Structure 1
Amino acid sequence: MENKKSIRDRIDFIRSFGRQHRYASIVILLFLALVVYRAGHFFLKSEVRQPEPAVNVIVASVKRMPIDVISPVTGRLKPSEEVALFPMATGRVSAVYVSVGDSVTVGQVLFDIEKGQVGSTLNQARESYSAIASTYARMEMLYAEGAVSLQDFESAKAQYIAAKESYNAAAEAYANFTVTSPIDGVVTSLSVAVGSLAGGAVAGSVAGTDGLVIEASVGEALAPSVEIGAGVGVYIDSLGREYPGTITAFSPIPSMGMLTYPLTITMDPDDALFAGMFAEVRLVSQSIPEALCIPSEAVIIREGKPVVVVLQGDDIPELREVVPGVDNGTIVQILSGLDEGERIVSTGQHFVTSGIQVRVVGERP
């Protein structure tokens, strides 16, 4: 009886344990099935590679055209004429009639200096000259009639000449106290004011408005290519564009103590140009009337050799070795390796692989 009871108790325990852990067993089985499925999918699926997109490029044509080698020379725009105001008299300024930036004409009064005794000296010289001139005129008439001797006439003449010179000197000294503009132009500086002391130093300056020039110099290598009267391009950095100019002066002799040759470029009139602007004069040092050319950036270096990417049919690129010639930074002459009319890659060539098709997204003129 005890054995039967013991067996029955074991069967009841197993049934009770199964009922209590049934759900946990189901969860474990489902998890193991999921792991097996994911592992099989990972190892058994075939890998599919997407094709790489074509490289975008911009192309250009191989053309025959003139090519110039440009040698830049720097300088600054300055007035074609600028004159310093240096008062010849010394004294305190009594009146100022202009300001910096005012337009003036030749002979226009800019400022006055107190005249003091110089006015009295001029009046005395004028009166003396007037009296002696009258006496000389009378003596000249009497001498012509034979009424006075040659000695008396010569004495009167000498007095007249001396009086005239004294009067002229006094008038010139008086005029020095009035400072006028020596040229037509614009007042560019003025360092005097009413009550200030003038004389013995530069008091200002006036610049002409007829034109602007650039004074520069070139070395011996560039000197043979300079020609008076030749037109040049002048790039103004602050304006971001090029303006025309003309070589108007050139010295075949170097400046004193220098090894460079001075030249002057005169600018064509333009309201956008102002004195003081930084300028780059673009001199043509070498000119080839006709050459096989491509954009300079189209030439790249591969394995130490200059090559160009040439497009064949269906836009298939080919890396072709070339022999470059003159290069002005914009276009380059090709001595061999290319034929006129061929299409080459000018942008995107660094990312091209020979034989793999590219996508043309633009073309340079």
Structure 2
Amino acid sequence: MSNSNTITLPLPRRHHLLLAAGAAALALGAWTVTARVAAHAAHAALAETAQSAAIADVIATTPQPGPATEDVVLPGEVKGDNETTLYARTSGYITRWTADIGASVQQGQTLAVIASPELDQQVRQAEADLRTARARAAVAQTTARRVAGLVSSQAVSVQENEDRSAAAIATTAEVAASEANFARLRQLQGFERIVAPFSGTITARRIDIGSLITAGDTQGTELFRISRTGRLRTYVDVPQSYAAQIRASTPAELDFPDRPGQHWPAQVTRTALAIDPASRTLRVELDIDNAGHALFPGSFTEVRFHLAPVGHGLRLPANALLFRAEGTRVAVVGPDRRAHLRAITLGRDFGTAVEVLTGLAPTDRVIVNPAAALEEGDPVRLVALHHQPAGA
């Protein structure tokens, strides 16, 4: 019997162990392959998901041309066809007035009377001076004629004759001066009556009985304001960009905020034919019939002109703009499905839309509401494309 510790298994049992070990190795290998395949698939799916998430979904629109005509609404001021403020030409106190606000008056009608005792006294004094001057002139002329008749008989000297003739001429000049002074004072006395310069309506009265009036004071002694309201004038300042389209007979509409839904047709009567250098506007006047006195001078109105658009810019929604440090940009979806930033030149601002003068073509697909972080070349996915006109 051998003393060795080696145990020799029977052949069938060893064969079974080897088969089990091989099966385990095969199973382990299969599991490893399967795990690696699953991990690779999961990684690929995750990468695809991340890549898909990195592509922004965008909505785009195309720039649209402006309308054939557009309404230009400008503020206007309504005035009477003829209106003026009356001031005093002579000093004194108001003794009576005959017309109040809203009264219709006729040209030449007395509106108020001013009492001016000092002026009345000056008129009487001037009249007396005129009579005295005329009497002196008559005596001087009579004396000159008599002396002239005595020269031939040498009863008077030639020198005395010349002196008398000169005295007669001087007194005649004094009469002329006295007449001029008397006429001036009488004219001033006529200004004691305040009369209507034209037929119209009294729109303001600033005096009452006993009011002190100072002649020539245009700062605080406004007596009356009178306006002819049967026809009204509306003044509006048109910006220089539209001035070339405004001509006499250009139609317009007047809208008043206190009369919603009502429109008054009017037309341009005349223009200043010059741009105001301070405001860069053209003063335009429109006439409107007001026979029924439905409208009031001094009212604010909105004047609506139907004009051709200025320039040939495209219109784009205002929410498509990107404001960057380098300037205003828009994002355009390119054929490569990437965003491309375009520099544009803006024209007028219509509120919800803007006018683009340069930088875009009508076929460009401009992203609406672009992300603030959108950069040049970012991939995008176009989910909708709108072609509706941009609102003005």
Structure-1-length-normalised TM-score: 0.55
The answer on 1:243 being equivalent to 2:244 is no
Tell me the equivalent position of 2:285.
264
Cα 1:245–1:143, aligned 2, differ >3 Å: closer, same or farther? farther
Tell me the equivalent position of 2:172.
157
Give the match's secondary structure for 1:123: helix
Tell me the equivalent position of 1:26.
none
Distance in 1 (CA, whole Å) between partners of 2:191 and 2:135 is 28
Contact 1:305 1:321 in 2 (8 A): no
Residue among 249, 252, 273 paired with 1:232 = 252
Cα 1:168–1:225, aligned 2, differ >3 Å: closer, same or farther? same
Tell me the equivalent position of 1:282.
304
Cα 1:167–1:78, aligned 2, differ >3 Å: closer, same or farther? same
Identity of aligned residues (%): 18
Give the match's secondary structure for 1:215: strand
Give the match's secondary structure for 2:179: helix
Aligned residues: 236
Tell me the equivalent position of 1:101.
102
How far apart are 1:219 and its partner, in Å? 0.9
Tell me the equivalent position of 2:186.
171
Give the match's secondary structure for 2:274: coil
Contact 1:238 1:278 in 2 (8 A): no
Tell me the equivalent position of 2:234.
214
Distance in 2 (CA, whole Å) between partners of 1:225 and 1:323 is 29
Distance in 1 (CA, whole Å) between partners of 2:141 and 2:236 is 61
How far apart are 1:83 and its partner, in Å? 1.0
Distance in 2 (CA, whole Å) between partners of 1:130 and 1:209 is 49
Distance in 1 (CA, whole Å) between partners of 2:139 and 2:264 is 68
Give the match's secondary structure for 1:206: strand
Cα 1:134–1:265, aligned 2, differ >3 Å: closer, same or farther? farther
Distance in 2 (CA, whole Å) between partners of 1:242 and 1:134 is 72
How far apart are 1:188 and its partner, in Å? 0.8
Contact 2:91 2:116 in 1 (8 A): no
Whichever residue aligns with residue 225 of structure 1, its letter is: Q
Distance in 2 (CA, whole Å) between partners of 1:144 and 1:72 is 82
Whichever residue aligns with residue 266 of structure 1, its letter is: D
Q: Which stretches in structure 2 are left out of the alignment for 5+ residues?
A: 1-66, 150-160, 310-364, 369-384
Distance in 1 (CA, whole Å) between partners of 2:121 and 2:197 is 27
How far apart are 1:166 and its partner, in Å? 1.0
How far apart are 1:243 and its partner, in Å? 1.4
Tell me the equivalent position of 2:62.
none
Distance in 2 (CA, whole Å) between partners of 1:67 and 1:221 is 17
Contact 1:72 1:282 in 2 (8 A): yes
Tell me the equivalent position of 1:71.
72
Tell me the equivalent position of 2:354.
none
Distance in 1 (CA, whole Å) between partners of 2:275 and 2:145 is 63
Answer with 1 or 2: which has the greater Rg.
2
Give the match's secondary structure for 1:188: strand
Alignment map for 1:1-365 (pairs within 5 Å)? 68-130=69-131, 132-133=133-134, 150-199=165-214, 200=217, 201-239=221-259, 240-255=261-276, 257-271=278-292, 272-286=294-308, 324=389
How far apart are 1:245 and its partner, in Å? 1.5
Structure-2-length-normalised TM-score: 0.52
Contact 2:254 2:264 in 1 (8 A): yes
State the 4+ residue runs in structure 1 displaced beyond 3 angstroms: 130-150, 303-306, 320-325
Whichever residue aligns with residue 265 of structure 1, its letter is: L
Cα 1:159–1:251, aligned 2, differ >3 Å: closer, same or farther? same
How far apart are 1:138 and its partner, in Å? 8.7
How far apart are 1:251 and its partner, in Å? 2.0
Contact 1:73 1:218 in 2 (8 A): yes
How far apart are 1:155 and its partner, in Å? 1.3
Distance in 1 (CA, whole Å) between partners of 2:265 and 2:142 is 67
Distance in 2 (CA, whole Å) between partners of 1:227 and 1:323 is 34
Cα 1:112–1:324, aligned 2, differ >3 Å: closer, same or farther? same
Distance in 1 (CA, whole Å) between partners of 2:144 and 2:196 is 46
How far apart are 1:284 and its partner, in Å? 2.4
Contact 1:247 1:265 in 2 (8 A): yes
Give the match's secondary structure for 2:275: coil
| Cα offsets for 1:137-181 (capped at 9, x unmatched) | 897899899778652442132112111111022112222322222
